[in-house]
Amino acid sequence: MNALPATAMSLGLAGCEVCGLVSRPLAGTAPHCPRCGEALHFRRPASIERCWALVIAALILYLPANLLPVLTTYTPLGSQSDTIMQGVVELWSPTSWPLAIVVFVASITIPLGKLIALAYLLITVQRGSLTSTRQRVRLYRMVKFIGRWSMLDVFVDTFVVALVQLKPLMWMAPGPGVMFFAAVVVVTMVAVNCFDPRLIWDLPQKECNA
pTM (two decimals)? 0.80
Q: Which of 159, 200, 206 lies closest to 4 in space, CA to CA?
A: 200
Helix-strand-coil split of the chain, %, nearest 5: 55, 10, 35
Could you give all domains of the chain from N- to C-terminal order, each with its CATH number? 1-42 (no CATH), 44-201 (1.20.140)
> Do residues 36 and 22 lie in contact, with contact meaning Cβ atoms separated by under 8 Å?
no
Tens digits of residue pLDDT in 23-46: 888 776 778 888 888 888 888 889
**123-154 residue pLDDT tens:** 999 988 878 888 999 999 999 888 777 776 67
